[in-house]
Structure 1
Amino acid sequence: MINRYQLSNGVRVVEEPMPSIRSTSIGIWILSGSRNETNRNNGISHLIEHMLFKGTPTRSARNIAESFDTIGGHANAFTSKEYTCLYAKVLDQNAHEVLDLMFDMFFNSSFNEEELEREKNVIYEEIAMTEDTPDDIIHDYLHNVSFGNHPLSFPILGDEEALKQIDRDKILSYKDQYYSSDRIVISVAGSIPEGFDNKIDKLFSTIPDKSSSNDLLTTSYSNETLLKKKETSQAHLCLGYPGVHIGDHSIYALTVLNNVFGGSMSSRLFQKIREEMGLTYSIFSYHSSFRDNGLLTIYGATTTEQLDLLEDEIYKIIEDIKQHGITRKELDKTLQQLNGQIVLGMENPNSRMHHNGRNELLEQSHLTVNELIQAFENVTLNEIQKIADYIFKNQPSKACILPSNV
């Protein structure tokens, strides 16, 4: 059973005890990601995430690393378009200790200038590595062309020139603006030790009671085309169609549609384009939902000579779905697959912590495993056809990477 409550300063807490589990998964979530940035500070959210591990006034970076190693725990962090999360998984007997450590990292990081410049260099290498990986960077290119000048188009890793201008003062100013109590969620799952609620309250109630303004800028979709040339052997293609926002009830029908279309090995894209035609090694689709919109992405790579054929075949499969829909057999198979994925995924306390934390942060309803399965079981062929018509009525945005010698 999920327990939700709010501290006096607005910090939200969501807990899910899991009987017979001896580990505790803890996440500190903040509603701040690359969509909160500007051209001048693109990458600052991700940079802050890196710096969380680089020391506080009372703990050095080495102390932090040794603390996690000593208690046999695992800690990490990530940044997305809309949020940042610091999380850890430890034995329940060490949960109190690790929460002290995580709080110190998240809210008392020193942001030492020397460490800051060193970590920027690490991120520059991360950016370069991504640029050298066409099947990775092309998804950033697609977001760039799909969302134009909106911050959703910004890469999470950031822009190297913008990062060079970020110093300690700019980081502290950004944190002061976005790391407010109303944007923070504490998510805990697994074995929740005695007195842990009091521990959370003692630490996180010290955060000033501060509300932030609405940061959602109006988005619009662009069906433009972006072409890049790189030192590659293959041509890489990404197509983007407008999707649905987080909380839209049609997300269940869209999840089923995507699974049938290109989200699994038995999908139409994979079976036709890879298995039957041998056009690609990698072909798939996925849907990304944000607070106010979404994007359905299709990716494939092939030889330059076969690129037009690949794109044509994708459109043929889309047209067939628009004209004839999916079959009852495909729906039943997908529901069975999703059922298994949901149950297996939710057996892990780390998965539960992430699921609950994200839902609470983005103000979504908390469904039990059975309720989530039932939401998919309720999807009809008619609903799937409606969402297919809604998405595929648009012309897609397109990003393409060609070999430089073409």
Structure 2
Amino acid sequence: MFNKIVLENGLRIVTENIPYVKSVSIGIWIEIGSRFENQSNNGISHFIEHMLFKGTENRTAKQIAESIDSVGGQLNAFTSKEFTCFYAKVLDEHLPLAVDVLADMIFNSKFNEEDIIKEKNVVFEEINMYEDSPEDLVHDLICQTMFDGHPLAYPILGSSSILEKINKKNVLDYYKQYYTPNNTVISIAGNFDTDKTIELIYKYFSNWIPVKKEKDEQCPPMFYRRIMGKTKNTEQLHLCLGMKGVPQGTNEMYHLMVLNNIFGGSMSSRLFQKIREERGLAYSIYSYPSSYKDTGMFTIYVGLNPNYVSTVLQLITEEIDKIKNGGMTSDEIYKSKEQLKGNYILGLESTSSRMSSMGKSELLHGKIYRPKEILEMIDSVQREDVENIAKEVLDFNRLNISFVGDINNNQIESNFKKIIG
């Protein structure tokens, strides 16, 4: 059963009671991420996420970790382009402890100068690790390529050169601006007493003072054809092709998800079967949609021998042409919808997944979709819908390429032009 309460300070609390499980997951979702940053503070949202684990007035960093570890629970956080989430999963009897620890982190973190200096080194190493992982790096590059000139292009981790200049005042000012109740959703799913849990949340969070602020309204990005890459001494060439996708919270998102399963979203997809299984030209090849509040992107990734790049690009474009020209069968669309429904229903067995779905949906759209509604939206997708979204998204005029490997822009561009002109 879903429940939603809004406190006087603007904090939204969304809950789902699942009485047949023994766990409970709680997440604190704050609408702040790299798209709200600028060129002088890129990476600060992610850095603050780290700092909230470094100690409070009541607990050291070790005690924060031990408090949840000692009861067999999980405590973690992540930052995305549009939000930051701090979450815990514990046995139902330990929910009060999870709430206490998360509230302590949100309200009582010290942000010591010494800890800021040490944690910068940790994040520098995280950035270096990312730079050393070409498959991760090429996905960041496709975002920079697609969203060039728009805040969505900023990498979530930021850069070492920008992070080096961020000081305690920058951190505190940014924290006070965005870590506010009217910018936050608390999401809880699992086995708990709803009334007692709302009282518990009220006890810890009702005195949180809201801050009136106006976020800068961002225009959706413009999409052009671009190529961006990094020449590195790697055995494989890592390649991403990116095209304009669709925003979150739209029916078109389900149309695109059905298309993705057919095209490159699974082991039975056309790209995987054609390029890996039939031709043996790549170990890893897949596609996926990424959606944001006002826009989206559709990405195709392949890791391959640089000698095969022309052949693989040709095969990808051939599959795109087939799909755009009515090449999908009713059986493919039916199987794709069943796959989506199966994956979604299996995800409902996890309190973490249900907590995440509620929190993200309420934070970004102010609405929670019930499982029945989700399944109905998947079932309602028709062949015509998938064909229309294929023509809209798989557009060579807005095709972008990013790469990481032992190759240069000119080589990629020449292959690119041979195929799509």
1:287-320 Cα distance to aligned partner (Å, 9 max, x none): 0000110000000021111111111111111111
Q: 1:386 aligns with which of 385, 388, 392?
A: 388
What are the residue-to-residue correspondences of 1:69-88 with 2, within 5 Å? 69-88=69-88
Q: Distance in 1 between matches of 2:88 and 2:49?
A: 14
Asked whether the 8 Å contact 1:29–1:86 carries over to 2, the reply is: yes
Question: By how many angstroms is 1:270 displaced?
Answer: 0.5
1:274 and 2:276 correspond: yes
Asked whether the 8 Å contact 2:224–2:398 carries over to 1, the reply is: no
Match in the other structure for 2:46: 46
1:19-49 Cα distance to aligned partner (Å, 9 max, x none): 1112111000000001111111111111111
Match in the other structure for 2:403: 400
Q: Distance in 1 between matches of 2:166 and 2:229?
A: 30
Match in the other structure for 2:205: 204
What are the residue-to-residue correspondences of 1:234-245 with 2, within 5 Å? 234-245=236-247
Asked whether the 8 Å contact 2:306–2:407 carries over to 1, the reply is: no
Q: Distance in 2 between matches of 1:255 and 1:283?
A: 17
Task: Say which SS state the counterpart of residue 250 (structure 1) adopts.
Answer: helix
**Alignment: residue pair count:** 406
Q: Which amino acid aligns with 2:210?
A: D
Q: Distance in 1 between matches of 2:293 and 2:342?
A: 27
Question: By how many angstroms is 1:247 displaced?
Answer: 1.4
Q: Which amino acid aligns with 1:400?
A: F
Asked whether the 8 Å contact 1:232–1:404 carries over to 2, the reply is: no
Asked whether the 8 Å contact 1:184–1:361 carries over to 2, the reply is: yes
What are the residue-to-residue correspondences of 1:183-198 with 2, within 5 Å? 183-193=183-193, 195-198=196-199
Q: 2:229 aligns with which of 220, 227, 230?
A: 227
1:109-128 Cα distance to aligned partner (Å, 9 max, x none): 11111111111111111111
Asked whether the 8 Å contact 1:182–1:212 carries over to 2, the reply is: no
Q: Distance in 2 between matches of 1:210 and 1:379?
A: 42
Task: Say which SS state the counterpart of residue 117 (structure 2) adopts.
Answer: helix
Q: Distance in 2 between matches of 1:177 and 1:345?
A: 34
Q: Distance in 2 between matches of 1:69 and 1:12?
A: 28
1:258 and 2:274 correspond: no
What are the residue-to-residue correspondences of 1:227-376 with 2, within 5 Å? 227-363=229-365, 365-376=367-378
Q: Distance in 1 between matches of 2:30 and 2:75?
A: 16
Q: Distance in 2 between matches of 1:94 and 1:260?
A: 43
Question: By how many angstroms is 1:325 displaced?
Answer: 4.0
Q: Distance in 1 between matches of 2:130 and 2:377?
A: 37
Asked whether the 8 Å contact 1:86–1:106 carries over to 2, the reply is: no
Q: Distance in 1 between matches of 2:376 and 2:36?
A: 35
What are the residue-to-residue correspondences of 1:108-123 with 2, within 5 Å? 108-123=108-123
Question: By how many angstroms is 1:364 displaced?
Answer: 5.0
Question: By how many angstroms is 1:166 displaced?
Answer: 1.0
Question: By how many angstroms is 1:249 displaced?
Answer: 1.5
Match in the other structure for 2:419: none
Asked whether the 8 Å contact 2:23–2:91 carries over to 1, the reply is: yes
Q: Which amino acid aligns with 1:197?
A: I
Question: By how many angstroms is 1:404 displaced?
Answer: 6.1
Task: Say which SS state the counterpart of residue 39 (structure 2) adopts.
Answer: coil
Asked whether the 8 Å contact 2:28–2:85 carries over to 1, the reply is: yes
Which 4+ runs in 1 deviate beyond 6 A?
none
1:130-153 Cα distance to aligned partner (Å, 9 max, x none): 111111100001111111121111
Q: Which amino acid aligns with 2:273?
A: Q
Question: By how many angstroms is 1:222 displaced?
Answer: 3.0
Q: Distance in 1 between matches of 2:113 and 2:224?
A: 39
Question: By how many angstroms is 1:191 displaced?
Answer: 1.0
CA RMSD of aligned residues (A): 1.4
Q: Give the percent of matched residue pairs that are identical in Structure 1 and Structure 2.
A: 45
What are the residue-to-residue correspondences of 1:104-183 with 2, within 5 Å? 104-183=104-183
Q: Distance in 2 between matches of 1:367 and 1:47?
A: 32
Question: By how many angstroms is 1:176 displaced?
Answer: 1.5
Task: Say which SS state the counterpart of residue 245 (structure 1) adopts.
Answer: coil
Task: Say which SS state the counterpart of residue 373 (structure 1) adopts.
Answer: helix
1:325-381 Cα distance to aligned partner (Å, 9 max, x none): 421110111122112111110111111000100001011532222221111011000
Q: Which amino acid aligns with 2:322?
A: D
1:174-208 Cα distance to aligned partner (Å, 9 max, x none): 01111122210000000123511011112111111
Structure 2: which 5+ runs fail to align? 412-421
| Range moving further from structure 2, 344-353 or 392-401 | 392-401
1:72-92 Cα distance to aligned partner (Å, 9 max, x none): 221000000000000001112
Structure 1: which 5+ runs fail to align? none
Task: Say which SS state the counterpart of residue 269 (structure 1) adopts.
Answer: helix
Q: Which amino acid aligns with 2:61?
A: A
Asked whether the 8 Å contact 1:147–1:222 carries over to 2, the reply is: no
Q: Distance in 1 between matches of 2:69 and 2:352?
A: 18
Q: Distance in 2 between matches of 1:83 and 1:375?
A: 25
Match in the other structure for 2:416: none
Question: By how many angstroms is 1:106 displaced?
Answer: 1.8
Q: Distance in 2 between matches of 1:275 and 1:369?
A: 35
Q: Distance in 2 between matches of 1:107 and 1:223?
A: 45
1:246-291 Cα distance to aligned partner (Å, 9 max, x none): 1122111110001111001010110111111111000000000001
Q: Distance in 2 between matches of 1:62 and 1:283?
A: 41
Question: By how many angstroms is 1:69 displaced?
Answer: 2.0
Give the alignment's TM-score, normalised by structure 2: 0.94
